[in-house]
Amino acid sequence: MGMSLVKGNYQLSTCILLNSQLRTTVFPTKTMPIMCSSFSKPLFSFSSFKAFSSQTSASTSNPDEMPAHVGFLGLGIMGSPMAQNLIKAGCNITVWNRTKSKCDPLISLGAKYKSSPEEVAASCDVTFAMLADPESALDVACGEHGAARGMSPGKGYIDVSTVDGATSKLIGTKIKDTGALFLEAPVSGSKKPAEDGQLIFLTAGDRSLFEMVAPLLDIMGKSRFFLGDVGNGAAMKLVVNMIMGSMMASFSEGMLLSEKVGLDPRVLVEVVSQGAISSPMFSMKGPSMVQSMYPTAFPLKHQQKDLRLALELAESVSQPTPIAAAANELYKVAKSRGLSDHDFSAVIEALKIKLQTQSKE
Ligand SMILES: NC(=O)C1=CN([C@@H]2O[C@H](COP(=O)(O)OP(=O)(O)OC[C@H]3O[C@@H](n4cnc5c(N)ncnc54)[C@H](OP(=O)(O)O)[C@@H]3O)[C@@H](O)[C@H]2O)C=CC1
Ligand SMILES: O=CC(=O)O
């Protein structure tokens, strides 16, 4: 059993695999599916897969059943546009951010402000958190005036930060100890998809909370996957970003090599865009990389964090990931050269530095 859903110019295919512990459900959010089909056989032969699809028909959310009061913690590159889209859609939003000034543009759009995560959680039905890394996600959820202190039965906490599974499980346990519900929901998609309400949510945890916040996810995103137990959303996000980090490192090598052998890297970008390895990421970032410009959409420090966490995930199951490990080293070099807050495409600078070093030897 499975389904294929077509929405706009992309197609999602899901399948059911044998021996499931986990149920994967894919919901394209902004239109109804226009095609469904079934598979009689599993698409993969691996017998130990945990991820399955149990979805046979698409779910559309009901905006009339949105939680009345919504909290948003963490207003960085991603959190600000996500919260802004909720406000524009008419939601009643309360915000908090460590650096208070980042709340001001949202307050001027109508958001309320509370001075701690605890107060936000106490005053809202559901609270979203979009924090930098495992440490900040844990602190904001479970620290002294953390969100968990404001949680109680009937409420929900949705962590959309990119963290490792262990951190997500710890946060989930602390939230659920209060009687509230927990959903991990990291997002795929960067600054522009966040602004355009085109994120992809990779959720896992309490299914009833997933359903309760579906109308909110549908405002901020174009699709939502329900992946079963807490940890699976984090794992999916880390695998995706491991691939992305390696792709960008490889693209950087290609661009520099093309230049070194006398080709125009702008032409390389054009050639790549027309072939089988074409990617929106290469087409969007390539032209500015040629000019050594890296306007930040996805900070390089976060990409390196994701590679580190993905490598730890791979280590935990003894999966060799030599390409990601090599890419991670490059991002570390870039960080050590002060490029942490540049876009992750600035990883190309680490290769330029290497070449300069080599030519001196
Ligand atoms: N940018 C992107 O393209 C994408 C990012 N992500 C992930 O989303 C998350 C947020 O990313 P992004 O918005 O780009 O990151 P930013 O660095 O722009 O924002 C990070 C947020 O975390 C807060 N924060 C950091 N440290 C602490 C702390 N110790 N205590 C409390 N708050 C803290 C920051 O507060 P303050 O303003 O005070 O610094 C800010 O609100 C990350 O996990 C990232 O990996 C996922 C998909 C895409
Ligand atoms: O995490 C980054 C993204 O673009 O997705």
The label of the residue with tokens 């207003």 reads 75
| Best CA proximity match to 241, nearest among 184, 178, 313, 156 | 313
The pLDDT of residue 53 is above 70: no
Say yes or no: 270 and 334 in one domain: yes
% helix, strand, coil for the chain, step of 5: 50, 15, 35
Say yes or no: 222 and 257 in one domain: no
CA of 9 to the centre of ligand 2 (A): 20
> Residue 2: what pLDDT?
29
CA 343 from chain centre, in angstroms, equals: 16
Is the beta carbon of 136 within 6 A of some atom in ligand 1?
A: yes
CB 255 within 8 A of CB 235: no
Say yes or no: 319 and 335 in one domain: yes
Is the beta carbon of 356 within 6 A of some atom in ligand 1?
A: no
> Residue 59: what pLDDT?
66
Per-residue burial over 219-239, b if 16 or more Cβ lie within 10 Å, else e, is bbbbbbbbbbbbbbbbbbbbb
> Residue 353: what pLDDT?
62
Say yes or no: 54 and 106 in one domain: no
- 91 in helix, strand or coil? coil
Say yes or no: 127 and 160 in one domain: yes
Say yes or no: 78 and 138 in one domain: yes
**Type and span of the H or E element at 53:** strand 51-53
**CATH number of the domain residue 214 falls in:** 3.40.50.720
87 contacts: CB under 8 Å, gap ≥ 6: 93, 106, 109, 110, 111
Ligand nearest to the CA of 343: 1
> Residue 63: what pLDDT?
72
CB 161 within 8 A of CB 183: no
Say yes or no: 189 and 140 in one domain: yes
Say yes or no: 83 and 122 in one domain: yes
Confidence of residue 357 (pLDDT cuts 50, 70, 90): low
Residues with CB under 6 A from ligand 2: 188-190, 241, 298
Ligand nearest to the CA of 188: 2
Say yes or no: 142 and 155 in one domain: yes
Say yes or no: 106 and 218 in one domain: yes
- Indicate the number of domains in the chain: 3
CB 125 within 8 A of CB 69: yes
More confident residue, 67 or 313: 313
Confidence of residue 32 (pLDDT cuts 50, 70, 90): very low
Query: Stretch 93-112: mean pLDDT, rounded?
Result: 98
- Rounded mean pLDDT of the chain? 87
Say yes or no: 17 and 141 in one domain: no
The pLDDT of residue 287 is above 70: yes
**pTM score:** 0.88
Say yes or no: 207 and 287 in one domain: no
**CATH number of the domain residue 253 falls in:** 1.10.1040.10
Mutate to test the pocket of ligand 1, among 95, 136, 145 (most ligand atoms within 8 A of CB): 136
The pLDDT of residue 34 is above 90: no
Is residue 237 annotated as part of the catalytic site, yes or no? yes
Mutate to test the pocket of ligand 1, among 302, 340, 344 (most ligand atoms within 8 A of CB): 302
Query: Stretch 160-183: mean pLDDT, rounded?
Result: 98
In the chain, the amino acid numbered 177 is: D
Which atom of ligand 1 is least distant from the CA of 186? 46
The pLDDT of residue 261 is above 80: yes
Domain that holds residue 22: 2-59
